Amino acid sequence: MTSCIKKILSDKKKLVCTVSLLIWGVFSIALLSATYLSHLASLKERGNLARSQVEEMLANAQAGINKAVRLDLDDCDKSLYELRNIVAVTPDIRTISLVRNGYMYCNSIIGKLSPE
């Protein structure tokens, strides 16, 4: 009789251990899934932020180009003040260079450049 009771208790312990492991496994998978989804949402948010910042920089660059195109770009001395003004007031633009035939002839920081 005692061997029968020991076998039943042993079977119950195995069942309890098995159920406990299953519960622990399900909980672990749920926790990992929640962590993954949270990380994925964070990555998406950061990606959207980076995209909007790049779009803003490109829009600022286009605004600077639109202002510079209206200038007399053939004469660096005449357009230098305005080029520097565009650089000063337009976000994300650090310098404007004018290029003709593959050579830079005017820069908003340096000024007029002689071709060499």
User: What is the overall mean pLDDT for the chain?
Assistant: 87
Tell me how far apart the alpha carbons of residues 71 and 77 are, in angstroms, rounded to a whole number.
Answer: 11
Phi, psi (degrees; rounded to nearest 5) at 26: -65, -45
Task: Judge whether residue 9 has pLDDT over 70.
Answer: no
pLDDT of res. 17: 80
pTM of the entire predicted model: 0.63
In contact, 94 and 87? CB cutoff 8 Å: yes
pLDDT of res. 74: 83
The residue extents of the domains of the chain are: 2-112
